[in-house]
Structure 1
Amino acid sequence: MSDSPNTNNSPSTGSPSNLDELRETIDQLDTDILRLISERAACAQRVAKVKLTHDKGTVFYRPEREAQVLRRIMSLNPGPLDSEEMARLFREIMSACLALEQPIKVSYLGPEGTFTQQAALKHFGESAVSLPMAAIDEVFREVEAGAVNYGVVPVENSTEGVVNHTLDSFMDSSIRICGEVVLRIHHHLLVADTTRRDKVSRIYSHPQSFAQCRKWLDAHFPHAERVPVASNAEAAKLVKTEWHSAAIAGDMAAKLYGLTPLTEKIEDRPDNSTRFLIIGNQDVPRSGDDKTSLVVAMRNQPGALHDLLEPFHRHQIDLTRLETRPSRSGVWNYVFFIDFKGHHEDPQVAAMLEEVRLRAAEVKVLGSYPQGVL
């Protein structure tokens, strides 16, 4: 009887065979996925033809329809991928298919590498054509002029509060809010290859990012000069040419400008997030899980705020945000920006709005839109 090992019973002999079988299974699944994505893309092309047959000025991107599809995918997801990751994959498929019908042009608060661009790509997918603008009012103008289909602007941060410039831009504009996207904001301290890391004496960033990282900076770089700039992307660009400076910015800016994180996630609050609004020129039908935004001007009289909010309470409308801004016209003292759950076409919401119009000097519905899915 031979003393050589029994190779048939060796644990290692079964592994290559099983691995080959698993790889064959993966190859077959990839083939199936490829075929199904191609079938979906072809169906999207047929949808475009049907739309164009009935209306030459048709709108190809439907925010409410996309939200319904993504919610359905998340509800059906069996795992092991989590529901948000699965929805993100489907959003990219939908973005690529939509580009076959008509590529979406989106303006955003630039320059390239900002969190606003990241929010635009998160909402519309990588197949959208994104165009940076130098200021928030330029984003509004591009959308109003029809040069782009949609715009993306920041509206509030969980740490620093509202972006007043965005709210003020709505007061004189006919633009509608078509959607929202919430982005977790992670700030990194970035340096270039030429940076002498032990000699960092200057840090560039947007003022809001400095505010969101104030405690960390006080503890780790108390003597470094903090230089505010127009955007974190601009901060990253400046650091590229200096040996003694660093920038506070995110992953997209780091990748775009070839910088390396000296320290990651330096924001003071781990739940730091920013909400962005999607702006466009059309009303959005109900999706089944919606928000509405209003701007309301009230007369300067005792009990004005109570008179404004009482119909919301009585009709059991859930307010999610209430902000006060000074009136730029000088006619009314109080201007309120209000977000609440529901669509303006919902019966209880319509009844509430009718009462508010009777009590207010002016009411302007900025838009009803799907609540952010991702």
Structure 2
Amino acid sequence: MEKKNIERLRKQIDKIDEDILKLLNKRAQIAMKIGDIKSKDALYFWDPQREKEIFDRLVELNQGPFPHQTLFNIYHEIIAATRQLQQPASVTFLGPEATFSHMAAVKQFGKTAHFSHAPTIKDVFLEVDKGRCNYGVVPVENSVEGIVAYTLDMFFQSELKVCSEVYIRISHFLASATGEKEKIERIYAHPQAEAQCRNFLKSNFPQIPIYEVRSSAEAAMKAQKEKNAAAITTELAIEHYKLKFVDQYIEDFANNTTRFWVIGQQLPPSTGADKTSILFSTPDVPGALYQALKPFAERQINLTKLESRPMKNLPWHYLFFVDLDGHYTDERVKTALEDLKHQCAYFKLLGSYPKAKC
């Protein structure tokens, strides 16, 4: 009797799946028509504001049992796949595969985008600059280690803009081909990953040698090929190289998060919940920084980050990197930036983009 009930319920699921498939394809056809209009009118294909409206509306309509985050994940993939039908996107990231940069790229663009990896941050910029890829994904800041200076330095050489930001929680895993802790004779790790797991390694593997590699993905690859080797690596790399977990979440700081930037040729339109990033330098006179920041205080614009960077071509002179709330087209932000430009020896708008959730 119970078996018959299961079969009856499964047939209902099959029918629902058929309806969902038809509706997904119908949705895709309508989206492709929108894509044709955008193409003819030279409109921006990636519309963060529209995506936000879709997600907010679905959350409001959702009565369960699907949790909101699960619903978001499903529709994120649907929207990403539909965007690929409108205009196939090519995305390059700081490689190799299965790194945190790869994870950030997948989180932003979904699994259906065409991905490639580049060996350095400079190469990511070059791939997008030369039009070989639509977008690039690079790390810009870690909550423990601080700013990624080379990413900021690249904006002096490039006119690319920041189109979006992505936050990835940095969780480290110990894995090997067998998953057996007692068989580990050596551990491969990227220097930063090793540093972030120092207490775990000291407590659990005080006598085991640690070998430095260029990435967490390379560590996983070596653990796959070498007997009695383990790797400090990512969950994606463990899946990619078919390793087994030895231990999970071995990082010393639970709130370790890296912020990534998506770089491209165009700035996205305002969504109403945006962030703007700028670089500027001031004249070497008393009160110059105070005067530079005054336009934001007067307009009650919140500065969420302020950090100085040495100028490589001028010793003992500094650039200031600022994140602020708002879009560069917002009237308050627009006038504040205009006032700032008059105070600066150098000014560059890096981008205005939708705020991401940490």
SS in 1 for 2:158: coil
Write out per-residue CA displacement over residues 214-244 of structure 1, whole angstroms, 9 at most, x where no aligned residue.
2211211223222222110011112222223
Q: Please tell me the residue identity of whatever aligns with 1:48.
A: G
Tell me, yes or no, if structure 1 residue 357 matches structure 2 residue 341.
yes
SS in 2 for 1:108: strand
CA distance in 1, matches of 2:322, 2:297: 14
CA distance in 2, matches of 1:154, 1:113: 15
CA distance in 2, matches of 1:69, 1:351: 31
Give ranges in structure 1 of 5+ residues lacking alignment.
1-12
Q: Deviation at 1:373?
A: 5.4
SS in 2 for 1:90: helix
Native 8 Å contact 2:310 2:318 kept in 1 = yes
2:283 is aligned, of 299, 317, 320, to 299
Residue 77 of structure 2: aligned partner: 92
Native 8 Å contact 1:297 1:334 kept in 2 = yes
Residue 336 of structure 1: aligned partner: 320
Q: Deviation at 1:180?
A: 0.8
Native 8 Å contact 1:344 1:350 kept in 2 = yes
CA distance in 2, matches of 1:51, 1:359: 39
**Which range moves more in the overlay, 289-298 or 76-85?**
76-85
Q: Deviation at 1:212?
A: 1.7
CA distance in 1, matches of 2:239, 2:315: 48
Tell me, yes or no, if structure 1 residue 42 matches structure 2 residue 37.
no
Residue 101 of structure 2: aligned partner: 116
1:312 is aligned, of 288, 293, 296, to 296
Q: Which has the larger radius of gyration?
A: 1
CA distance in 1, matches of 2:327, 2:305: 15
CA distance in 2, matches of 1:44, 1:157: 37
Q: Deviation at 1:124?
A: 0.4
**Which range moves more in the overlay, 60-69 or 213-222?**
60-69
1:32 is aligned, of 19, 24, 30, to 19
Q: 1:49 to 1:85 in 2, by over 3 A?
A: same
CA distance in 1, matches of 2:198, 2:82: 43
Which aligned pairs between 1:110-259 and structure 2 lie closer than 5 A? 110-193=95-178, 197-259=181-243
**Which range moves more in the overlay, 18-27 or 318-327?**
18-27
Q: Please tell me the residue identity of whatever aligns with 1:38.
A: N
Residue 269 of structure 1: aligned partner: 253
CA distance in 2, matches of 1:340, 1:372: 13
SS in 1 for 2:193: helix
Q: Deviation at 1:199?
A: 4.6
SS in 2 for 1:293: strand
Q: Indicate the percent of aligned positions where both proteins have the same amino acid.
A: 42
SS in 1 for 2:284: coil
CA distance in 1, matches of 2:135, 2:28: 23
Provide TM-score, normalisation by structure 2: 0.93
